[in-house]
Amino acid sequence: MTLGQAVFLGVVQGVAEFLPISSSGHLAIAQHYLRGFEQPGVLFDVLLHLGTMLAVVIYFRSELAALIVSPLRRTDEQRKNFRLLGLLLLASIPTGIIGLTFKETFEGLFDNIPLVASMLLVTGTLLFICERFRNGRRDESRLTAVDAILVGIAQGLSIMPGISRSGSTIATLLLRGVEGETAARFSFLLALPAVGGATLLSIRDLQQVATGTLPAYLAGATAAFIVGLFSIHLLMGVIRRRRLAAFGIYCWAVGLLVLLLNL
């Protein structure tokens, strides 16, 4: 893997992780068509996700700080934050179970480009449906345990390449009657423990990385971090303007194009 390839893939990750178009699907397709691309295991992909998750930490630093200190205080606001923290932890349980159970199975699908393209079609359909039928008014104070479990399952299933993590989790909450910005914030915060766990599981791949390629890995993660910050800001605006269906059409177009190229 060259430095240029790493930065390019980092930009792809930074854009596709937060915009609901499946970063895993775009990475799988991009890596398939990059000549001479190789990586040990999925460590590079995990580092790219780590870069975008650092963007989440920076963008939502105030919310994260409030969640961290919420168990130590007893104001009404901190009680709300503590409840939100509990829902995030609850949602992480089904995600963890699905991820640990099917990790190797889903990782083996990254080379199945027709399947990845088909899952992009599924993502596009989900986005179109949720935008068509969304009518949410519930904010964070009205999120429930059922919301958390369902969105945790959606995040766990999004380990399949081509299924957008942000798209599936946000769509799940929108269809449950949660308003857009709340759905997006919960989706982004929920990704942190999942990506942290995936990073720990992939640490063993470090020993397979040649020392000379480490700068490329770090450059890719840095690119994902920088572009990710802009992508979060963009998606929050898109959510407010109710334009998710446009991303659904994009997923359909890319999925159909890749399927045609692989006939």
Nearest to 78 by CA among 142, 188, 86, 92: 86
Q: Which residues of 119-132 are buried (b: 16+ CB within 10 A; e: fewer)?
A: bbbbbbebbbbbbe
Judge if pTM exceeds 0.85: yes
- Nearest 5°: the CA angle 203, 204, 206 is 75
CA distance 103 to 52: 21
CA distance 114 to 141: 41
Nearest to 172 by CA among 194, 149, 191: 149
Residue 206 predicted with pLDDT over 80: no
Residue pLDDT, tens place only, 231-254: 998 888 888 777 788 899 999 999
Instruction: Determine how many CB atoms are found less than 10 A away from the CB of residue 214.
Output: 11
Q: Which pLDDT does position 211 carry in this prediction?
A: 62
Residue pLDDT, tens place only, 130-168: 888 888 789 888 999 999 999 999 999 998 999 999 999
Q: Which pLDDT does position 241 carry in this prediction?
A: 74
In angstroms and rounded to an integer, the radius of gyration of the C-alpha atoms of the chain is 18
CA distance 168 to 194: 15
Instruction: Name the pLDDT band for 89 (thresholds 50, 70, 90).
Output: very high
Tokens 């992480």 identify what position? 92
Q: Which pLDDT does position 212 carry in this prediction?
A: 66
Give the residue, 26 or 200, on which the prediction is more confident. Answer: 26
Residue pLDDT, tens place only, 167-178: 999 999 999 999
Distance of CA 150 to the CA centre of its chain: 16
**Structure tokens that stand for 198 in this block:** 């995936």
Does residue 167 contact residue 180 with C-beta atoms inside 8 Å? no
Residue pLDDT, tens place only, 29-78: 988 888 877 765 566 777 888 888 889 899 999 989 999 888 887 788 88
CA distance 199 to 195: 6
Query: How much of the chain exceeds pLDDT 90, in percent?
Result: 44
Q: Which pLDDT does position 244 carry in this prediction?
A: 85
Residue pLDDT, tens place only, 104-129: 788 778 889 999 999 999 999 999 99
Nearest to 172 by CA among 127, 106, 224, 233: 127
Residue 92 predicted with pLDDT over 60: yes
